[in-house]
Amino acid sequence: MEEDKARIEAAISEQLGTIFQIESQKALGGGCINDAYCLQGDGHRFFLKSNRPDFSSAFSSEAEALNELADTQTVRVPKVLASFESSNKSYLILEYIEPARSGSRDWAKLGRQLAELHKIQKPFFGWKRDNFIGATPQPNPRGENWDEFFKEHRLKRMLTLCQKLGYRIPGADQLLQTLPDFFESYAPQPSLLHGDLWSGNVAFDSDGAPFVFDPASYYGDRETDLAFTEFFGGFSPEFYTAYQDAFPLAAGYEKRKILYNLYHCLNHLYLFGSSYSFQAEQMVRQLLE
C-alpha cells in the first residue's frame, strides 16, 4: 500500500507542479461499486476512487468520458488527474468539488447545459471504446442505424445477461422484433451523452452551480439521457423546462422513455437482483400495448 500511496502522491504532484503529500484520507459514502476517498494535503483536496486491479479499464474509460465532456465546455465535470493500476488496486484520481448539503440549486442551468451537450453530434452512434454502465460492460461499436444499435448493443445484450442469471422477461422477444416500430417516424441524431444521468450522479457546489460525474458516455439518442433522469423520480421541473426551451423533444418521447429506461431497469436487475424483475416485466407490457 505504501507503493500505491507514493504513486498517488506522484500523480497529484505532477498535476500541481509541486510536491504533494497525503496528510489525511476520509472515506466517502454514496457509492455501491467503488471505494471513494477525499485526500487532503497542504490545503488541497482530491477525490480518489479505488477498486480491484481488473477494474482499471472501467476507470480509464470513465477518465476518457470525463475529458471528452470537459472539452465541450457545456456541463461541468471533475478534472481528471490520473488513473492507474497497481498489483493490488486500480485507481482514479479526480478534482474534488465540495457538494453543498443545502442552499440554492440551479436546476435550470443544468437543463440548459445538458441541451448544449446534446447539440454536439457525430455521424455515427457508439463511442471510441467500450465502457461500463455501473459495473456492467457496455459495448459501443460504431454504427449508423440507431434502432439496430439500441436493439443489439443495449436491450438484447442486457436481456441475455439477465437470462444467464435465470431472469426471463415475458414478451421480451416480441419487443425486440417490434423495436423498429418505435422509430418509424423518429430518426434521432447521434448526440454526445452523459450516459448514466440520474440524481446520484449530479451535485451542486456552494454557489448552487451544477456538476455531473460517473459518466458512461457514447453518441446516441439524447432522449436516453432525459429518460434516465426520470427513472428514480425525476429532477426538478425547472430542469425539464429549461431543457425543452433550449432543445425541444420530439413527439412520442413519453413512450420511448419507457423503452430507454427498460435498459437501465434490466441493468439493475442484472446487478442487484430480483427486486427489479416485476418492474421490467411491467415496462415490457406497457411497450407492447
57: pLDDT confidence band, cut at 50, 70 and 90? very high
Handedness of CA 158, 161, 167, 169 (dihedral sign): positive
Query: What is the chain's mean pLDDT, rounded?
Result: 96
* Whole-angstrom distance, CA of residue 39 vs CA of residue 27: 9
**pLDDT for residue 1:** 60
Q: Does domain 107-288 have CATH number 3.90.1150.140?
A: no
Region label for 87, one of left (φ > 0), alpha (ψ between -120 and 50) or beta (otherwise): alpha
Catalytic residue among 147, 196, 214, 225: 196
* DSSP-based three-state secondary structure for 41: strand
**pLDDT for residue 3:** 80
- For the chain, the distance separating the N- and C-terminal CA atoms, rounded to the nearest angstrom, is 56
pLDDT tens-digit map of 86-110: 989 999 999 999 998 767 899 999 9
Taking alpha carbons only, the member of 159, 223, 231 closest to residue 201 is: 231
**pLDDT for residue 101:** 77
- Assign a CATH topology to domain 2-95: Phosphorylase Kinase; domain 1 (3.30.200)
Q: pTM here?
A: 0.95
pLDDT tens-digit map of 110-158: 999 999 999 999 999 999 999 999 999 999 999 999 999 999 999 999 9
Within the chain, all domains assigned CATH 3.90.1200.10 are found at: 107-288
Catalytic: 196? yes
Mean pLDDT across 255-268: 98
